[in-house]
């Protein structure tokens, strides 16, 4: 799950510069959107929001739960202070309202039953992140939130590996 990163600085129009980093996707946790060996570019200065796929440095709890550290790529589903729950069919709700997740297949939901009926509260300053390929993802359900200081940035571009 460790990603290879190469830093780049790009100049935008009008003299505005922004910083991006390039990462290679190491696992199947974000399939089908991201495939193993795809290369993604994360925009360091862009703010993140629910639904964004983000690149982040793994919190210590993730290293302990997953057996690996470094940099992960997951999708933000829960924001600071929200309650995230997973029902008996693998659907995610935020504060009791079902989240529309067209990027998670019925097969991915059916294969992942470990967290059915569970609930989590996202700590202040953290994001709750999940892989789209839930049964292949070591994510916030295992280790909790990602502190905002660990977020490198949202994925801005995907290049097929």
- Indicate which residues carry an active-site annotation: 29, 74
Instruction: Give the separation between CA 22 and CA 25, rounded to whole angstroms.
Output: 10
Enclosing domain of residue 136: 5-159
pLDDT tens figures, 99-124: 999 999 988 888 899 999 999 999 99
Round the average pLDDT of the chain to a whole number and report it: 88
pTM over 0.85: yes
Phi/psi for 17 (5° steps) reads -110, 155
Q: How many CB atoms lie within 10 A of CB 47?
A: 9
Predicted pLDDT of residue 161? 67
Rounded Cα gap, residues 21 and 55, in angstroms: 9
User: Could you tell me the CATH number of the domain that includes residue 117?
Assistant: 2.10.109.10
Question: Does 19 have pLDDT greater than 90?
Answer: no
- Examine the pLDDT at 159 and tell me if it is beyond 80: yes
Whole-number percent of the chain with pLDDT over 70:
88
pLDDT digits (tens, 9 = 90+) for 67-77: 888 899 999 99
pLDDT tens figures, 47-102 = 999 999 999 999 999 999 998 888 999 999 999 999 999 999 999 999 999 999 99
Total domains in the fold of the chain: 1
Give the CA distances from residue 149 to residues 32, 88, 152, in Å, rounded to whole numbers and listed in that order: 28, 33, 8
129 three-class SS: strand
Q: Is the pLDDT of residue 2 over 50?
A: no
Look at residue 42 in the predicted model and tell me its pLDDT: 95
The CA distance from 22 to 5, in Å, is 5
What pLDDT digit, counting tens, does each position of 33-46 carry? Answer: 999 999 999 999 89
End-to-end, the C-alpha distance of the chain in Å comes to 16
Distance CA 152, CA 42 (A): 7
pLDDT-derived band at 18 (thresholds 50, 70, 90) equals low
Query: Between residues 149 and 2, which one has the greater pLDDT?
Result: 149
Helix H or strand E encompassing 83: strand 83-86
Look up residue 159 and give its DSSP letter: E
Q: What are phi and psi of 11, to 5 degrees?
A: -100, 135
């Amino acid at each position: 799950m460790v990603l290879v990163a190469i830093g780049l600085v790009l100049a935008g129009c009008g003299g505005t510069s922004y910083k991006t980093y390039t990462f290679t996707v190491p696992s199947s946790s974000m399939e089908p959107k991201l495939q193993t060996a795809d290369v993604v570019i994360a925009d360091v200065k862009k703010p993140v929001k629910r639904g964004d796929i983000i690149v982040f440095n793994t919190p210590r709890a993730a290293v302990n739960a997953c057996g690996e550290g470094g940099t992960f790529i997951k999708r933000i589903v829960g924001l600071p202070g929200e309650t995230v729950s997973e029902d008996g069919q693998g659907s995610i709700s935020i504060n009791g309202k079902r989240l529309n997740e067209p990027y998670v297949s019925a097969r991915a939901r059916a294969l992942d039953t470990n967290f059915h009926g569970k609930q989590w509260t996202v700590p202040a300053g953290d994001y709750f992140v999940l892989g789209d390929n839930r049964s292949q993802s070591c994510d916030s359900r295992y280790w909790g939130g990602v502190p905002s200081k660990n977020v490198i940035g949202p994925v801005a571009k995907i290049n097929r590996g």
